[in-house]
Amino acid sequence: MTTNDTSVICMMMGVGSRTFITDWAKAVSSFAHVIGVRTDRVPGMDDLPVIGRRLYTDDSDGLTVVIAPSRKLRPGRVFAPINHMFQTQAIMRASRWIKENKGDPNVIHSHFAAASGGVPAAARRLGLPYIHTEHTSNAVWKAGSRTPAWVRNLVKVIRRAEAVIVVSEDLRQGMEHLGLGEDLIVVGNPVDGAEFAPSPDQTDQPQLVNVGSLIPRKRVGLLLEAFAGVAQVKPTATLVVIGEGSQAEDLKKTAEQTGLADHVSFMGKLSRSELAKIMAESHVYVHTSEAETFGVSIVEAQLAGLPVVTTNCGGVVGDHPNPHMTVVGDDPNLIASGVLDVLDQAHTHDDRRQIARSARSLWSFQGVAADVEAIYARTVRRSR
């Protein structure tokens, strides 16, 4: 397979559903022709061009995405096989359009076993190999979050794939504990750094930033405790929290009750360009998650030139420690101390540019594509 080998057509599942899956599609596009496929109902789908019976297309973001919404019954063990069958049928509809308009697909690339239950059957019916990339935090976090039905589907998707990529060593070990550790290939997520860059125009006062879902695993409550300690030493410091989730209202109440409301901004979900702007004007990124399979926001922060203070949450923290990443214990005092030490270092613009360069060398589309191209070449060669 050569660079930009458009004779290889990849059906990439889930493009557009999550930013980092779209980043995977862009990275693979450097050596293959990628057509995105979605089988979920997309917001605003009815306004998209109709290309067939229950088929839509979205050409935004420089990628062609075929949307074939599948029927879905209630989630759960009883209905899972039927939902997987519906997804298989949706993939078949999308593949027919791709064959007629783009050429014969050579490979399917799926993400998240929980969203790919219908892929093995579709691949078998189409006579195609499939590559699967797993990202799930369930394999590395609390065992109670793994239901028997979830495990059965994971086993099915992983064991029938021609090649399986996991996005960190921690995830590989988690899969190994589930009896799925054989032949897993560790390749970190590619991250689109086009909008992330250091800026000389930082805020006048210390600004901390955190990005992630406001859910228990992310431990934003611990972050607020730590920030209280930072604010005692640096009363003009502020914290920007970006994300949404089930704990949003409780966290806002905590900020009010602890006297931090005037110092903490809850921004909700932002676009990537809005996120990049806030990161560029901040001074330090703080991450307090309990467990990560990768940690896209940590990479984005370093692409923006930010030093990082983080708990030992796994993912990139364990796989790629660097001098600009301070790893601390799960104690608010230790986190606050780490943040204060970083703020006292007063990173210059040149320092931030060096942080960004280091991150780009690891997580650029080109860097990740170099690893993944060999996996595609082996997979397609075996199937021909």
The full set of domain ranges for the chain reads 5-190+365-383, 207-362
Task: Please list the residues that pair with 32 across neighbouring strands.
Answer: 5
**Phi and psi angles of residue 241, each rounded to the nearest 5 degrees, phi first:** -110, 120
pLDDT beneath 70, residues of the chain: 1-6, 74-78, 142-144, 384
pTM here? Answer: 0.92
**Phi and psi angles of residue 138, each rounded to the nearest 5 degrees, phi first:** -60, -25
Does CATH place domain 5-190+365-383 in 1.10.10.10?
A: no
Q: How many helices (H) and strands (E) does the chain have?
A: 13, 15
Residue 2 CA, chain-centre distance (Å), reads 27
Q: Which residue type is seen at 366? A: Q
Q: SS3 helix, strand, coil % of the chain, rounded to 5?
A: 45, 20, 35
Query: Tokens for 265?
Result: 């901004």
Task: Please state, in angstroms and rounded to a whole number, the distance separating the CA atoms of residues 176 and 197.
Answer: 37
- CATH topology match: 5-190+365-383 vs 207-362: yes
pLDDT confidence of residue 1: 52
- Quickly list H helices, 127-236: 148-160, 169-177, 220-233
Q: Report DSSP letters for 208-270, one per residue.
A: EEEES--SGGG-HHHHHHHHHHHHHH-TT-EEEEE---TTHHHHHHHHHHTT-TTTEEEEES-
- Quickly list H helices, 304-364: 316-319, 332-345, 349-363
pLDDT tens-digit map of 94-145 = 999 999 999 999 999 999 999 999 999 999 999 999 999 999 988 887 666 7
Residue 9, classed as helix, strand or coil, is: strand
pLDDT confidence of residue 75: 64
Task: Return the H-helix or E-strand segment holding 328.
Answer: strand 325-328
The DSSP letter of residue 42 is P
pLDDT confidence of residue 144: 66
CATH number for region 207-362? 3.40.50.2000
